[in-house]
């Protein structure tokens, strides 16, 4: 079962990479039939940054839960941080994609909050 969950985690990372680097919005195409529209999950003053936060938080929580008993836990954390920065910076080079500082902060915040949530959970669990 753990192997299947790890495969799902890896697939979700691949999907995140594809969605982040595809020229135009695949989600906009899926929901609105238009590559130029970026859907927002929750109306907020930061636009699509909330999508970034939710995506990275959920994927990070999933990965941390899968690997918290493993020596790979820290590697997963650092890998997700590097991925979150890399994907946003790479959008500078891709047509119809835009680098956004809010998105970068949302990516990093999603990974960091997931990490601290798991660490806090583990500290309470050990008591």
The domain ranges of the chain are 2-126
Q: How far apart are CA 88 and CA 106, in angstroms?
A: 10
pTM for the model stands at 0.87
Per-residue confidence (pLDDT) for residue 106, from 0 to 100? 94
Give tens-digit pLDDT for 32-66.
888 877 777 677 676 778 889 999 999 999 999 99
Q: How far apart are CA 105 and CA 88, in angstroms?
A: 10
Give tens-digit pLDDT for 80-105.
999 999 999 999 998 878 898 999 99
DSSP string spanning 69-81? TSTTHHHHHHHHH
């Amino acid at each position: 079962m753990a192997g299947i969950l790890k495969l799902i985690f890896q697939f979700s990372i691949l999907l995140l990479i594809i969605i982040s680097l595809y020229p135009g919005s695949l989600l906009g195409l899926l929901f609105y039939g238009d590559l130029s529209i970026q859907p927002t999950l929750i109306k907020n003053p930061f636009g699509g940054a909330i999508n970034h936060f939710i995506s990275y938080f959920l994927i990070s929580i999933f990965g941390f839960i899968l690997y918290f008993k493993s020596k790979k836990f820290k590697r997963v954390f650092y890998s997700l941080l590097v991925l979150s920065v890399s994907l946003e910076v790479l959008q500078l080079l891709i047509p119809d994609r835009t680098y956004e500082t809010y998105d970068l902060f949302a990516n990093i915040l999603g990974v960091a909050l997931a990490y601290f949530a798991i660490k806090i959970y583990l500290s309470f669990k050990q008591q």
